[in-house]
Amino acid sequence: MPRTVLVTGGAGFIGSHTCVELLVHGYDVVVVDDHSHSSPVALERVAKIAGRPPTASYVTDVRDRAGLDAVFAAHRVDAVIHFAARKAVGESVRMPVAYYDTNVGGTTALLAAMERHRVPRLVLSSSCSVYGNGPTGGGARTPLRETDPVAPTNPYATSKLLCERIIGDVCDRLPGAFSALALRYFNPVGAHPGGLLGEDPRGVPDNLMPYLAQVAVGRLDRLRVFGDDYPTADGTGVRDYLHVMDVAEGHRVALEHLDDAAGLRVLNLGTGTGTSVLDLLAAFSAACGRRLPHEITGRRPGDVASLVADPGAVRRAWGWSATRDVAAMCRDAWRFQQLNPAGYPD
């Protein structure tokens, strides 16, 4: 089982929580992050929560091949967890070239460095967005299984699918010598329950939970609900929200199972429960103790009606399931926002 893990994007939302999970469970962690969408303060808080810091952290763009070579040369890395990527659906529609450059280009640069330094294990942060509108179109059939067709509807989703396929090609070229897991997780939200670590997007958030948190703390005036005419129970988009602590735990458990088989394996991480935009609005309102204002606007390009996981495959393979509910997600996200009303300090 790997003991020294390189975490790309380790200062980001999911990456920082995963670093805590790894450090608490005895792993040595090396972080690569250029801080273009994260704060170095997050790593200071990782060390405080875990009781020890990462072994090393490097301010390096994952596309920087010389920079990656220096990291791999300095540490005997056993496995890599690859988070470093752009991640906002709406932004990807506006900036497709940037998304392919960072997400696909960063993955190919990382794979090349891993091959040069003979590191044979990888966990990819993939996404449920690769499923697009679902196997029936319009997202009508849920939950989604790993065997369902993929049909990405925006550049972010396409970039993640391309990364999966490139990794699969590497596994095929190196049969028996390279093991990879692509974790298609659904909608990570929440924060570390202590409130020190959470989601701190730059600018106006593209994702629902941090937007709600900023409305609750007074940084934004109201929630904009993008569309109420989807084929769902209340007309708003439905997603499978997953506590970031469950996501972090899922990545740690993935490391323990990388050596179960060679080649690329794809697994969903989710709860199997769908929550609409209006449902989440009500849950966050309950967490912060007041009804949050909202308005309905038009649909956002690239969004789909419903994305809900069938998490059965990972449960059968590893005996692992997500355990935290939407109330805990909202409570922990609100605690982080209350303690950090303007986000991490500069």
Phi-psi region of 102 (alpha: psi -120 to 50; beta: other; left: phi over 0): alpha
d(CA 121, CA 138): 36
Closest CA to 47 of 55, 58, 39: 55
Q: Mark 214-241 as b/e (b = at least 16 C-beta within 10 Å).
A: bbbeeebeebbbbbbebebeebbbbbbb
Catalytic residue among 27, 58, 131, 156: 156
- The whole-angstrom separation of Cα 115 and Cα 157 is 26
Please give the structure tokens belonging to residue 15: 């990456």
Q: Is 99 a catalytic residue?
A: no
- Catalytically active residues are 156
